[in-house]
Amino acid sequence: MKNNTNFILPSQTSARKRTKNISAIERDLFVIDDKIKGIGNGRTYFVRTYGCQANFHDSETISGILEDLGYTKSDDIEKADLILLNTCAIRRNAEEKVLGEIGNLKKLKRNDPDKIIAMSGCMAQEEEMVTHILSKYPQVDLIFGTHNIYNLPKLLYHALLNKEKTVEVYSKEGDIVEALPVKRDNHHKAWVNISYGCDKFCSYCIVPYTRGKERSRHIEDILDEVRSLKDEGYKEITLLGQNVNSYGLDLRLDYGFSDLLREVAETGLDRIRFMTPYPSNFDDETIDVCARYKNIMPSIHLPLQSGNDEILFKMNRRYNSEEYRILFDKLKNKIDDCAFTTDIIVGFPNESDEAFDDTLKMVDHCKYDNAYTFIYSKREGTPAAKIEDHIDMKVKEERLQILNAKIAEYANMHNQKYQDQTTEVLVDGPSKKDKDVFAGYNPQGKLVNFTGHDIKEGDIIKVKITKAKSFSLDGEAIED
Ligand code: SAH
Ligand code: SF4
Ligand code: F3S
């Protein structure tokens, strides 16, 4: 493969930039030129996705584009003509997994030089990472960023037909690109982006740099998508945004997340979820809408990060522990039978034992149904990366274990409430381990494995719980 001028590299300095401009909506950016049409005919693609729902949904868009070009999906990484890794940069270990995988692909590329190896997603937005990959992993043919997905046909043309190494990563704040094709992985559950990017700049987090400025899609674009999903028979949608409940602030309309959520609920779709709300953007109107509409699932993910005020301040989270606790109590009192999950980081630079204790105290107060817990990971270019940290990794690992034990205890406590009770499950399909066992989720987001007859993916059925475990429930379908 020749080196060429198709190089637009990321810059974290430009990625940090924010203006007050309202983002442009681009409806005509995605085009397949005549010379590019059908370049995927007879070829296969394989996509592996890392990271959050936004990234998984991006992979569905990338798949849609590839299929428009004629490619067919393959589950066989060895045989696929195009291998794409859609990556995540949230923590060092997420990146290490990807680098390991790219390393493994070297042999495949050597055996078949016509194979295209591509990388997209948040790692592609990191300046140092792209330089590292270009110098150490020559097997990678194509790198494109989170703002460049629409241009994939052209980029692929360069890489595949011109045999040129191609890198296109914009770091600009970002527009909103509509009218991209999408090939959804699931036929009864769908993700719907309502906003992109993040302006919160938590001091530890890379997302504001990799995803750009916070920008909301237009109300009608979202509602049209929701209505057509309903018409296609989808049973559940999850509204997505890095700060899903600050929806609309950038549009400066008198219309916010609570209004959108209400309109989405009024479409009558069976199940509605949203990810991820930011605590200080959770207003009373949104709580009321959640409480009022039975098709908004009683399951709220409310990231805590830390229960200590000094750490929350250093994290640049815009709430203190008292405000978080008041919000939590309000949600719990107003929304019937609601499950709560959270995200917690242990070992933020110089987190003291007392600070960690405050986190444990908050967990004791909220008694979460489940939590995603992480050891702080230094991200180059973020403000926290500059703090000199005096806490031993061993201490951090111990804290994580203590925290996880507590989380498991409360998870089990909540699940025991379901013993011998009936719960409604949206069926995902037969379980991976046993074809006679089905799996699905109840309104509170609990994983339920159950037995039954004549059950189809996408059914919503009643299941009696026969055994409650810490992180899942076993049961039997109730036959009418
Ligand atoms: N926008 C969402 C999700 C962000 S990423 C939110 O604000 O909640 C998901 C989780 O990863 C975060 O909630 C945080 O707990 C964790 N995370 C982010 N950056 C991290 C870092 N540098 N080290 C460890 N965990 C991190
Ligand atoms: Fe990251 Fe904070 Fe934005 Fe969430 S709100 S994506 S943690 S910067
Ligand atoms: Fe990872 Fe990017 Fe999502 S860093 S968590 S894939 S926004």
CATH 3.40.50.2300 domain position(s) in the chain = 12-168
Site to substitute for ligand 3 among 122, 201, 214, most atoms within 8 A of C-beta: 122
Q: Say which CATH class 176-414 falls into.
A: alpha beta
Q: Is the pLDDT of residue 58 over 90?
A: yes
Nearest-atom index, ligand 1, CA of 377 = 23
For residue 411 and ligand 3, the question of a CB distance below 6 A is answered with: no
Average pLDDT, the chain: 96
Over range 314-333, report the average pLDDT.
98
Closest-CA residue, ligand 3 atom 3, reads 52
Instruction: Please give the CATH superfamily to which domain 12-168 belongs.
Output: Response regulator (3.40.50.2300)
For residue 90 and ligand 1, the question of a CB distance below 6 A is answered with: yes
Reported as a single tens digit per residue, the pLDDT across 388-422 is 999 999 999 999 999 999 999 999 999 999 999 99
Distance from C-alpha of 387 to C-alpha of 389, rounded to nearest angstrom: 6
Reported as a single tens digit per residue, the pLDDT across 336-367 is 999 999 999 999 999 999 999 999 999 999 99
Identify the pLDDT of residue 112. Answer: 95
- Residue 432: pLDDT band by 50, 70, 90 thresholds? confident
Reported as a single tens digit per residue, the pLDDT across 132-169 is 999 999 999 999 999 999 999 999 999 998 888 999 99
For residue 281 and ligand 2, the question of a CB distance below 6 A is answered with: no
Identify the pLDDT of residue 5. Answer: 56
Contact indicator for 470, 412 with CB cutoff of 8 Å: yes
Tokens of 99: 């680098």
Ligand 1 center to 390 CA (angstroms): 21
Ligand 1 center to 376 CA (angstroms): 9
Q: Is the pLDDT of residue 51 over 70?
A: yes
Reported as a single tens digit per residue, the pLDDT across 76-119 is 999 999 999 999 999 999 999 999 999 999 999 999 999 999 99
Ligand nearest the Cα atom of residue 54: 3
CATH 3.80.30.20 domain position(s) in the chain = 176-414
The predicted model scores a pTM of 0.97
Identify the pLDDT of residue 13. Answer: 87
For residue 207 and ligand 2, the question of a CB distance below 6 A is answered with: yes
Find all residues with CB under 8 Å of 124, minimum gap 6, and list them.
10, 87, 130, 143, 144, 145, 146, 169
Ligand 2 center to 59 CA (angstroms): 21
Tokens of 272: 């509605």
Identify the pLDDT of residue 141. Answer: 97
> DSSP label at 456?
-
Over range 428-441, report the average pLDDT.
87
Find the helix or strand (DSSP H, E) in which 395 lies.
helix 393-416
Written as one letter, the residue type at 437 is V
Identify the pLDDT of residue 288. Answer: 98
For residue 145 and ligand 3, the question of a CB distance below 6 A is answered with: no
Report helix, strand or coil for 74.
coil
Ligand 3 center to 213 CA (angstroms): 14
Identify the pLDDT of residue 1. Answer: 52
Identify the pLDDT of residue 3. Answer: 52
Q: Tokens 């379901």 label which residue?
A: 418
Site to substitute for ligand 1 among 368, 374, 377, most atoms within 8 A of C-beta: 374
Find all residues with CB under 8 Å of 336, minimum gap 6, and list them.
291, 298
Identify the pLDDT of residue 163. Answer: 87
Closest-CA residue, ligand 1 atom 3, reads 242
CATH 2.40.50.140 domain position(s) in the chain = 422-477
The HSE-up count of residue 131 (CA atoms within 13 Å, CB side) is 6
Which CATH architecture group holds 422-477? Beta Barrel (2.40)
